[in-house]
Structure 1
Amino acid sequence: MKGLRGLAVGAAALAVAVAGCGTSASNTGTAGSSGPKTLTVWLMDGSAPTTLTDALNKEFQDSNKDVTVKYEVQKWGGIQEKLTTALTSDTPPDVIELGNTQTPKFASEGTLLDLTGDASNLNGGEWLGGLKDSLTWEDKQYGLPFYASNRTVIYRTDLFEAAGITAPPTSNDEWLAAIEKLKTANAANPDFQALYLPGQSWYTLLSFIWDQGGDVAKKDGDKFVGSLDSAQAKAGVDFYKKLVDASGTKAPKDTDEAKPQQMEVFGTGNVAMMIGLPWELGGAVKANPDLEKKTSAFPIPSKTAGKSAPVFLGGSNLAIPAGSKNVDLAKSYLKLLSGKKYQDQLGAAGTVPGTSKDTASLASNPVGKALAASSANGKVTPATPKWAAVEAGQNPLKDMLTAYLTGAKSLDQATGDANTALTALLGG
């Protein structure tokens, strides 16, 4: 498919190079002050293509006399600790990129600049809704969306055709019916899996819970409490089990999509579908180039025919440290980056633009089209600094899935125990 390689690299694997750097005698002042100034920008490794950052930094410098963009690429490993140190120093960077689940933590600590009053000047009317929620803390906006990516159902077009499936499923019932057709058509292959679905793919689980009208947690006063024991959340967990049982998946029930890497399993050629990110398809194609012309994608189906399920938007936000000495310049830089010109380049690179609803550049191929269609219905995890403890520790959602899928616990017991653990983490 045309453009697949660029798309499949995604937000996690695009190479980013230093686009422009330099120093000056002064790092203070605003856009209107005289004398040389340096605007320090930290973006994460893999977030934007070099062509974008080269052009962006050059245009900004050309438009701002005596301003040099000191562009520094950061690694995700250890970035939270590095940001914690930098944001409390006397010389923080002027523009930073944050993971969307990291933003509430730094906003709550008072180390990010309140940009609520600047939203309209930063293309606020076009912001991606799910990411906007992730940068909101106590009803104020502490940044702007940068980009996002989400999961779609990546599938083998040749296997679908051979099984007599003429169109991608658009409901859960159609999805289950397609699985049965695929299993029947490939009954002679003992290694065949209609859908590869690991036991602990909790980001995928979120789609099913949200689709049923539930959530993992809800606001209770000034804190969040678990809501996994609701009827809607239980229905989402139960559908996950239905997919696992129906699919013929050979994936472990006690690990997630990284153990083993599901793209490697898909690349063997014995899997008809996986629920994954664009870069995972890229990895499978790299290992098995024959798949490039045999793969496409469709949005995760909903229980309601003709609709797609909500998806978790993994992505990044951009923010200005509260201690920046170049606030006006930083705002001008973000204004330039949030415009359609550079947002279109993000879309062309294979990620969902954060501040532009125009996804035409992204939807230029089938995989990008599915990604764009899904992102409009995107959501994020609860906007609380304490969510980090859920992901970093013994994730109750993973334990819940394994316990229910293996039969170690009933649905009520598994969701109830997970809900107790989740409430403790969010309230502790």
Structure 2
Amino acid sequence: MKRKLIAAVGAAALTATMAACGSDDSSDGGGGSADSITVWLMSGSAPDPWVEELNAAFEEEHGVEVNVEIQQWEGIQDRLTTALSEDGTVDVLELGNTQAVGYANTGGLADLSELSEEPWTESMLESAVVDDTFYSIPWYGANRVVVYDQSIWAEAGAEVPTTRDEWIEALELIDENTEAEPIYLPGQTYYVMGGFVADEGGAFAAQNGDEWEGTLNSPEVEAGLGFYGELQEFSDAPTDIDEGEPQQSTDVVPNGDVASWVGLPWEVVNATTAIEEAGGEADWGFFPVPGKTADELGHVFLGGSNLAVAERAGDQELARAWLEMATSQEWSQRFNDAMDGTVVPNRSDVTAEPAAGTFAEAMVASADVGFLPPLTPGWANVEVEPNPIKDLMTKVLNGEDFSSVAEEADTEMTTRLNRE
């Protein structure tokens, strides 16, 4: 089942110029008196049958109509900014998890603290809470795993690694014993690199009082990028591109002899489809990104989506009721089952038992060591090209001095993080 998760997994853009969305007496819509509510969901996020069954159950219980409006990720920032600054445009909305804190900070989202005691997946909560207040609820997560061609690895005599060192050893065997590219890894895949930084205890940025500052010029970032560089030496990919241009799953992997790559669930679906359409057969295996030692997996960027209630919703009471039902144990379990293991569950009481050897098994295994970028509206400014983290990676991989390049990048990061 094809599910386009990329925009939710990638850190979504969010400007800091959103109009303040203060609450007033009309924000509760009169306490559940509306005859309909409007729900914004993103294209590809939820299977149609799940949405239809959920809404039928809600409508039967509450006697109101649910109008679901499917949104596209492209341009969603501007549409959300407008909708959340107006009364009654949307009641419940889906947000990329890196968007949620920014909209909460600008007053656009309602306080959902009454749902704080539910057994939410711990690694997803950081994006839902601001100053100990819940402004959104985790809906689903997804993270990258290592995808490998089992036949090439068998030819090379390489085994699935459990540590970083074993990962390098496997790539060396593939390089020595086959004609395949051991790993496809462009020089600017910075969320993969960020996981290695998190393994070292580092981060891209940190909050200092009311301000944010870049923390790239640190031993932790240098070590994380150093390991990324070790992997990248086994790749033929340029150092000045990321995994999206060209898209690795459709433009690279199906058209070359690639032994392994780091990808998301939707990318595996697309790569498999492209290979089969060309008359081939995919022979994938999957393993979590290894950690420094065998007793802890490597950190991975945990993307995904949250659900929230607009502060200016036409009817907050009904909106909260819909969100509470949608994220209940029953409907979260149904959602997880409908997604066929392509997402990390939002609740610890949802049963997720993916089949052995599947992408889902490897993905769920890493969910507890997920990390997120700095959750601040200014993060969107960092991701605008030229991205200082990407530039840092390219320069260092091309042999420039880490400290001087990182110091320059931190100056730019700090400016962008605090820009209004």
TM > 0.5 fold call: yes
| Post-superposition CA distance 1:399-422 (Å, at most 9, x none) | 001101112x21222222222211
Equivalent in 107, 111, 114 of residue 114 of structure 1: 111
- Distance change >3 Å, CA 359–CA 255, structure 1 → 2: farther
RMSD, aligned CA: 2.0
Amino acid at match of 2:315: N
Identity %: 38
Structure 1 position 58 matched with structure 2 position 47: no
Amino acid at match of 2:189: S
Structure 1 position 311 matched with structure 2 position 300: yes
- Distance change >3 Å, CA 280–CA 176, structure 1 → 2: same
- Distance change >3 Å, CA 235–CA 50, structure 1 → 2: same
Structure 1 position 252 matched with structure 2 position 238: yes
| Post-superposition CA distance 1:321-362 (Å, at most 9, x none) | 111132121111111111233323433311222234535255
Equivalent in 67, 70, 73 of residue 70 of structure 2: 73
Contact kept? 1:238, 1:411, Cα under 8 Å: no
Match of 1:324 in 2: 313
Match of 1:217 in 2: 205
CA distance in 1, matches of 2:370, 2:85: 32
- Distance change >3 Å, CA 388–CA 359, structure 1 → 2: farther
Contact kept? 2:181, 2:258, Cα under 8 Å: yes
CA distance in 2, matches of 1:272, 1:345: 35
| Post-superposition CA distance 1:248-305 (Å, at most 9, x none) | x111111100111111311135011101111111111111127755102111111122
Match of 1:267 in 2: 254
Q: Which consecutive residues of structure 2, in runs of 5 or more, have no partner in the other structure? A: 9-27
Match of 2:11 in 1: none
Match of 1:161 in 2: 154
Contact kept? 1:143, 1:318, Cα under 8 Å: yes
TM-score norm. by structure 1 comes to 0.87
Q: Which consecutive residues of structure 1, in runs of 5 or more, have no partner in the other structure? A: 1-5, 15-26
Match of 2:289 in 1: 300
- Distance change >3 Å, CA 292–CA 320, structure 1 → 2: farther
Q: CA deviation at 1:364?
A: 6.2
Contact kept? 1:111, 1:321, Cα under 8 Å: yes
Q: Secondary structure at the match of 1:372?
A: helix
Q: CA deviation at 1:118?
A: 2.8
CA distance in 2, matches of 1:383, 1:41: 24
Q: CA deviation at 1:365?
A: 5.3
Match of 1:39 in 2: 37
Q: Where do residues 232-247 of structure 1 align in structure 2 (5 Å cutoff)?
A: 232-245=220-233, 247=234
Which is further off, 203-212 or 345-354? 345-354
CA distance in 2, matches of 1:85, 1:390: 23
- Distance change >3 Å, CA 164–CA 358, structure 1 → 2: farther
Contact kept? 2:275, 2:282, Cα under 8 Å: no
Contact kept? 1:207, 1:311, Cα under 8 Å: yes
Q: CA deviation at 1:165?
A: 2.4
CA distance in 2, matches of 1:255, 1:96: 33
